[in-house]
Structure 1
Amino acid sequence: MIATRPLFELRLRVPTIVDVGDTPLGRRRIATVAGGEFSGERLRGEVVATPAGDWLLQRSDGVTVLDVRLLLRTDDGESIYMTYRGLRHGPADVMARVAAGEPVDPASYYFRMVPIFETASKKYEWLNKIVAVGTGRREAQGPIYSIEEVL
């Protein structure tokens, strides 16, 4: 059994997704992250809108691969660079509803991510030394993740 403890909830605002089209690797889309917020017992703050984005790849097997880069600013002014890779997939009808921004039970599809943190902050340097995992759900305004530290 893997033990975890809550790190924070991350809410992203994704107003625009540019469809690059079908590339040799799959259908490439680039999502603009226009901000957001994160909140947990040990840290909280905002997602800085620039630079931030998600380089999505829709594979031929129906899996969407996430490649996200964000700058987090804590409520006490510290900067944390966060990147994550993830996978999202499910039955075609469920994923069509997710893509349309409809409310969908997150238990009906798979949405997982693995974040990495980088900071120069002495207060938050412990983030540089942890492994974390997250589960997500997609809502109309953007994804929401529950992120856990692996103990």
Structure 2
Amino acid sequence: MTTHGTLPTPSLEFAFDVAVDLGPLEDHGVTSVGHRRVVPILGGRITGAIDAEILPGGADWQIVRPDGTIEIDGRYSARTADGDLLLLHAKGLRTGVPEVLERLGRGEDVDPASYYFRTTVQIETAAPTLSHLQRALFLSVAQRQADAVRYRAYRVG
């Protein structure tokens, strides 16, 4: 077996904060892939290395596992002040003990340290000045609120 030296340890560097405004959850019931829910994205804001308005029309296409863990698959667009468009794709997990998940399901404000909500975020854009965002992965720590999701994204180095 050939070795290629020591692999680098990834680092995290703050990149941007996101606040996503959500519409009412649509429960599609148990489909061929599991318990499907869709949460419409109504708008929001990105600040930090990116400053952009989140556009209405995206959604989070969720699968709820039997243990209550939610598989996150959010896709939405944003527009910068210069008019550049971005497509963000957040994929991850939200899980915790049943009592905490029930409180979140009721829309209660729950300390984000009491549950696990992490996503990876990939960005797609045609804007030359933002193309560097397509060559990085971002890891986020998120919080679910009654009608919003907030997350802080870090560039994985």
Aligning the two structures, in what range does the TM-score lie when normalised by the shorter sequence? over 0.9
Residue number among 94, 97, 103 corresponding to 2:100 in the alignment: 94
Shift, 1:6, TM fit = 1.1
Alignment partner, residue 34 of structure 1: 42
What does 1:2-151 correspond to in 2, within 5 Å?
A: 2-40=10-48, 42-50=49-57, 52-151=58-157
Deviation per residue, 1:95-135 (Å, 9 max, x gap)? 11111111111011000001111111011000110111101
Amino acid at match of 1:32: P
Amino acid at match of 1:48: L
CA contact (8 A) 2:68 2:101 kept: no
Q: Work out the CA distance in 1 between the residues paired with 2:96 and 2:33.
A: 20
TM-score, scaled relative to structure 2? 0.90
Alignment partner, residue 3 of structure 2: none
Q: Work out the CA distance in 1 between the residues paired with 2:144 and 2:137.
A: 23
Cα-Cα RMSD: 1.1
SS in 2 for 1:102: coil
Shift, 1:75, TM fit = 2.2
**Is the radius of gyration larger for structure 1 or structure 2?**
2
Structure 2: tracts of 5 or more residues without a match: 1-8
Which runs of structure 1 show a deviation greater than 3 angstroms over 4 or more consecutive aligned residues?
none
CA contact (8 A) 1:134 1:145 kept: yes
Q: Work out the CA distance in 2 between the residues paired with 1:96 and 1:81.
A: 31
Q: Work out the CA distance in 1 between the residues paired with 2:14 and 2:64.
A: 29
Structure 1: tracts of 5 or more residues without a match: none
